[in-house]
A and B are shown apart, each in its own frame.
Chain A
C-alpha cells in the first residue's frame, strides 16, 4: 500500500475502518520510523533504591560503623574492582547475573547521580527524575518530549508501557504510549459472537476515529481508545512470543519477557518502560538473609535482567538494546532504629546493553561522618551527587537515540567523562 503522508493524515481513519487495525500498513509506518533501530528500556526502581546496598564500598570502615545491622559483609560482596578514586567496590551478593554482564563489559554503573538540593519526597523526587527538571516537575516527561520530537505521524505503538497507568517519564504532549501489562489480556471483547461481534467491533473502531472539536479532555480519551484498538493485532502477535530463555515468574520478569517479545516480533516499538518496586526500605531492610527484603529486591532485579539479557543475545537483539535505570533518591547512610534506611539523596544509575562500554563511572562517596566531607551532604547524613542525572540522560539522547539532548533537556548537560555509549 502506497500512501503519501498527507493521504495518511486524511485517510488514516478510513484505512483503519477497512481492516480494523490494518497491521501491514502500520508496520510500513513502523519500518519508516526504524523498527529495527535502537530500543531504549527505561527501568524505574520504585521507592528510592539504597545504592549503598547495591554497589558496596566494602573497604570503607564508616560503611560498617554506620550500618551495624544492615551492612553487607566484605567477604560476601561480588568484587568488581576499583573506581578512579581507588575505592574498591562490590555488587550485592545476589547480583550474580549483573556481575557476569559487568564482566562482559556490558554494564556501566554511574555512581553518585542526582542533583543539587535533592528532594527526599517520593513524589516530587519521581517527578523530577521523570521530567529531568528540578524547577518544574509538573511538565512533560523527558522521554515524552523525545517522542514528541519525532516526525509525525508517530506510530501508536512507538512506545510500550508495561504498567497499568502512564508513568510521568512517558507523558508527552501529543504522543500516546499504550499500557500493555499482559499482551494476552490486551483484547477487545464483545457480549456477542459471530457477525454481531464483528459489527460491534467495526462500530467501535468507527466511533473511535472521531476527533472531538474544542473538547480536549474528551479528545484525549478518544485518542486512547483509538490507539488501543489500532494496536490490538500487533500486540496479539507479541502474546505468541516464545522466548529463548526462561523468565522468572515475577511481574518484572514477565514485563521484560513482553518487551523482548515486542522486539523479537519487530512490531516497531522503540521505547519501553518497566518497573520493579519495594525499594522504600524504611524497616527490616535486611540485604543479607535469603528471605531479607533487600535481598529479595536484588533477586527480582537480577533474575529478570539476566533472563532478558540472555534472551536478547540469543535473538541477536542485544546490540539494538539499551536499558537505563533510575530511582527517585538514594537512602540515608546511617541505618535507622527499624533496621532500615530513610530517604536520602544521590544514588547509582546503571546502563546495560550490547553496545555499552561497561565499567565504573564517577567516584564512590567517602562515608566518614565528618560534616565537612565533600562527598556527603545534610550534615554528612546523605550522599552528595557528583554526576547530574541529566548528564546520563544526555548521553543516551545524543549517542543512543540520535536526538539533541540540549533541546530535549532544555540545556547542555553533556559531561565528557561519561562515555558509556
Chain B
C-alpha cells in the first residue's frame, strides 16, 4: 500500500516541489534549507522532515546570537515567565529551527487544543500564565513543563497520550475549569470540548454524554505541591478522590472494545480510571481519526477543495492501524497523492504566523527583531498563546478582513524598510542592478508567490520605472528593492501557501 502511494509521488524533486513541501510541513524555506532539501528526492525529504528526532534540537541556544533574527527584551529574556518573550521564542524557533515539521505540528496542536493566556493569567497572574503555557522544565525552578512544551515534545506522538496530557495540563485545567469540577456540582466545560473539538466532533455525541463526561472528570483538579520560597511552588494536576462522583456513567457510544457503553461504578480511590477510560474510548472512536483527517487536510493539503473521501478513509485507517500514533499519520499525509496533486499547490490561505515567518525567511532577518512582529500579528488576527476561543482561530477567508489585510501589507512595509540595505546589497551581489527588469526577475524568483495574475509583473515593472530613469545607484536600489518587495509580500498572491 505504501509503495502504491509512493509511486504517485513525484520522482526527482524540483525546487518548486521542495518549496511546496516546506511551506506546508514548515514555514517556508530559508536559503540554507532550500539548498539542503534540494539535494534529496521527495521521498527522502519527507522522511527527513518526519524523522526530525535525528536532528539536534539546539535552536533555543541560538537566540541572541549574531546572524539570526533578533529578539527584544525588557530586562532578562524570560520566555518561561513573560508571555511576550514566550511569543518571541516561538517565532524565533519557527524561523531558525532545523526541525520545521515539529514547530508546524506544535502550531497545529496549539490551534487544536486552543488555550488562551489571558484567562490563565487572569486566574493565576501574568508570570504564572506564561509559565504554564511556555516554560521548559530546565528553566523553571519547579520543573514546570508548559503546555506548548508538552505539545512540542509530543508533536508527532501518540494522540491518546497527548489527550491524556492535555486533560492533566495545568493551563487546560484552568482554561476549561477542570480544576473546579467537583462531585456535587460537575462542571461541563472540558467534557463538552473534549468531545466536540478535540476528538469526535459535533453530531457524534449527545447532551447526556456531556453530562456523563463532566461526572467522569470530577476530581481531576489542581494541587499545589512543592516547597515554598525557592520558586518551586507550582500548580499541577492532582486527582482528588474525595471530589469524584462514583456512580456508573453511560454514553451513547462504545467505551470499551467489547462495545460496552458504561463506565462502571468504582470506588473513589479508583475513580481516576473513569477519565482514562473515556479518553481511551475517544481516541479509539471511529470518528476521531476521520475528524483529525479533515483538520489535517485543511492544514496540510488544501482549503480550496473539501477533503477527498479517499484521503479521509486512508488517514483514518492509518490512525487506527498504528494505534493513534501521529508520526505514521503525518508521514502518510505528506506522501499522499492529494498532497502532491498540482491543485494543492498554493491552495492554503496563509495564517498570519505563516505569512510573517515565511516573509522573514525570504526577505531577510538580519537586523530585524521578532518583537516587531508581535503587534502586527495581533492586527492580522493571530496572537500566539491567545486564540480567540477553545475552537482555535477562524482560518481560511476569515483571516482576510480589510484591517487584517492592511496589517499584512504594513508588516511587509516594516520589514522591507528594515531590510532595504540588505536587499540592495543582494541585488548588487546577484549582478542584477543594471536594469529594472533583471532586478524584477531576481525578486520574482526569491519572493515566492502563487502565480501572479496576468498583468501584475508589468505593473511591477512600471513601478520600478515610475520615478525617473534607472541609474542603479545605491539609493535607488534601496528604495526600489524595498518598494518592490513590499508590493510583492503585500500582494494577494503572497497570502497563500
Q: A residues bordering B, Cβ < 8 Å?
A: 46, 120-124, 161, 164-166, 176-181, 185-192, 195-196, 199-200, 202-204, 206-208, 210, 212, 215, 217-218, 220-222, 224-225, 227-228, 231, 280, 282-283, 335-338, 340, 342-343, 378
Contact = CB atoms under 8 A, between A and B. Distances in A.
Given A186-B406, A199-B463, 7 more contacts: A123-B202, A165-B404, A207-B491, A220-B397, A221-B492, A228-B402, A342-B189
Interface in B440-477: 450, 453, 455-456, 459-460, 462-463, 466-467
B129 interface: no
Contact of A199 (B197, B406, B420, B466): B466
B5 interface: no
B490 A204 contact: yes
Nearest to B188: A342
Interface string B398-417: 11111111100110011011
Contacts of B192: 120-121, 343
A164 B382 CA distance: 9
B187 A342 contact: yes
B328 interface: no
B98 interface: no
Contacts of A221: 349, 400, 405, 492, 495-496
A63 to B, nearest CB: 17
A109 B397 CA distance: 35
B405 A228 contact: yes
B379 interface: yes
B182 interface: yes
Given A121-B196, A338-B177, A343-B192, A225 B394 contact: no
Contacts of B268: none
A231 to B, nearest CB: 7
B187 A217 contact: no
Contacts of A192: 417, 479, 482-483
5 contacts: A164-B401, A186-B406, A187-B406, A217-B347, A282-B180
Nearest to A228: B402
B379 A164 contact: yes
Nearest to B480: A196
Interface residues of B, number: 70
Contacts of A191: 413-414, 416-417, 420, 479, 482-483, 486
A81 to B, nearest CB: 34
Nearest to A162: B403
6 nearest A-B residue pairs (beta carbon): A337-B185, A179-B401, A338-B180, A191-B417, A178-B402, A228-B402
Contact of A164 (B404, B410, B496): B404
A225 B491 CA distance: 8
B483 A190 contact: yes
A188 B409 contact: yes
A210 B453 contact: yes
Given A180-B403, A203-B459, A204-B490, A337 B202 contact: no
B296 interface: no
Contact of A207 (B177, B380, B402, B459): B459
B188 A200 contact: no
Given A121-B196, A191-B416, A222-B492, A338 B187 contact: yes
Task: Pick the most buried of A120, A185, A207, A282: most chain B CB atoms within 10 A of its CB.
Answer: A207
Contacts of A340: 177, 180, 187
A337 B180 contact: yes
Contacts of A188: 406, 409-410
A165 B492 contact: no
B258 to A, nearest CB: 30
Contacts of A220: 397, 400
Contact of A190 (B450, B455, B486): B486
B437 interface: no
Contacts of A343: 188, 192
A355 to B, nearest CB: 30
Given A124-B202, A164-B403, A190 B379 contact: no
B180 A224 contact: no
B487 A203 contact: yes
Interface in B176-193: 176-177, 180-189, 192
Contacts of B455: 210
Nearest to A216: B304
A224 B491 CA distance: 11
A224 B409 CA distance: 12
B5 to A, nearest CB: 27
B487 A200 contact: yes
A14 to B, nearest CB: 14
Given A121-B192, A192-B483, A336-B187, A225 B492 contact: yes
Contacts of A227: 402
A218 B496 contact: yes
A327 to B, nearest CB: 13
Contact of B186 (A195, A196, A337): A337
B405 A224 contact: yes
A190 B466 contact: no
Contacts of A338: 177, 180-182, 185, 187
B381 interface: yes
B187, B303, B349, B416 — most chain A CB neighbours (10 Å): B187
Nearest to A190: B413
A77 to B, nearest CB: 25
A227 B492 CA distance: 13
Contact of A283 (B186, B187, B210): B187
B4 interface: no
B391 interface: yes
A337 B413 contact: no
B389 interface: yes
B207 interface: yes
A343 B399 CA distance: 28
Given A123-B391, A190-B486, A337-B187, A180 B402 contact: yes
A228 B491 CA distance: 13
Contact of A225 (B389, B405, B480, B486): B405
A118 B495 CA distance: 38
B403 A179 contact: yes
A217 B349 contact: yes
A336 B453 CA distance: 57
Nearest to B389: A122
A228 B406 contact: yes
A149 B202 CA distance: 32
A224 B401 contact: yes
A122 B486 CA distance: 39
Nearest to B394: A165
Given A218-B493, A342-B187, A224 B400 contact: yes
Given A120-B210, A338-B180, A207 B456 contact: yes
Nearest to B409: A188
Max chain A Cβ within 10 angstroms of own Cβ: one of B402, B479, B490:
B402
Contacts of B486: 190-191, 200
Contacts of A164: 378-381, 401, 403-404
Contact of A200 (B187, B390, B456, B483): B483
A280 B175 CA distance: 11
Nearest to A122: B389
Contacts of A195: 467
B63 to A, nearest CB: 27
Given A196-B483, A203-B487, A218-B492, A282 B403 contact: no
Nearest to B415: A191
A278 to B, nearest CB: 9
Contacts of B210: 120
A166 B401 contact: yes
Interface string B184-226: 1111110010001100001000010010000000000000000
